[in-house]
Amino acid sequence: MPGLLLGDVFPDFEAETTTGKIKLHEFLGDSWAVLFSHPRDYTPVCTTELGRAARLHSEFSKRGVKMIALSVDCLEDHHGWTTDILAYNCEEFDGCSLPFPIIADSQRELAVALGMLDPDEKDKDGMPVTARCVFIIGPDKRLKLSLLYPATTGRNFDEILRVVDSLQLTAGRKVATPADWRPGDCVMVPPSMSEEEAASLFPDGVYTKDLPSGKKYLRYTPQPEEHLVLSLIEAENKKNNNTNLMHSDVYSIFHCNENTYITVNFSH
């Protein structure tokens, strides 16, 4: 995606969408966001993708993530196609409208600016259409992740949700998530961290795997439970416009049969 690198401030723009005109940064506010493009309306793979995105919307919302789609189709087509998506979803999603807007970029201005066009996929007029892009944008409006899929390969929105979990967990924390990580799994200690610092930061312990090289870089520690608690507290703060909840006052944590239970008291 030319000109747009991880860590860059994501471009602000105005656009017409299925829910009205938006300014992107204003729409995002202080939320995380997933902006994803699709090749064309009224196509099979795209219908399954936006259907899956709609079914997972509540999961993204729980994580403070806003969703917004984009293609080079017009608003009229977006609105008409939405009824097909809802019909496809009828057995698993009871919404009467898509829970996120779709940008109409019929002039391809945004698609060009964001590097979304697929030169191998063209419409009936021979014009390139949008590829299956995914941009994850942080609350600081900076690009945290970008993915680019060909038209023939539908995206796994469960994987995108997993990536969001990883990005949110590791933001501001000195940990990384290994291959196939899921929330609740152990995380990894970066090799740049000394053993002394690791022992101080991770009171639940650090496990180092012995390797033939003798190098002690493969280090694991339990996922910081504070991340789970703060997610609940931040959501409640937003709901009540309250910034005064004290972490030590409002929650307790206990373990039972390999499960972790968090009790949060929001009456303080």
Which active-site residues does the annotation give? 46
Query: What CA–CA distance (Å, rounded) separates 132 from 116?
Result: 8
Range list of H helices, 217-259: 225-240, 247-250
Which two structure tokens, joined as six digits, stand for 254?
């206990």
Sign of the four-CA dihedral 160, 166, 171, 176: negative
Sign of the four-CA dihedral 193, 195, 199, 204: positive
Query: What CA–CA distance (Å, rounded) separates 220 from 102?
Result: 41
Task: Measure Cα distances from 144 to 10, 29, 105, 111, 134 in Å.
Answer: 10, 16, 23, 19, 11
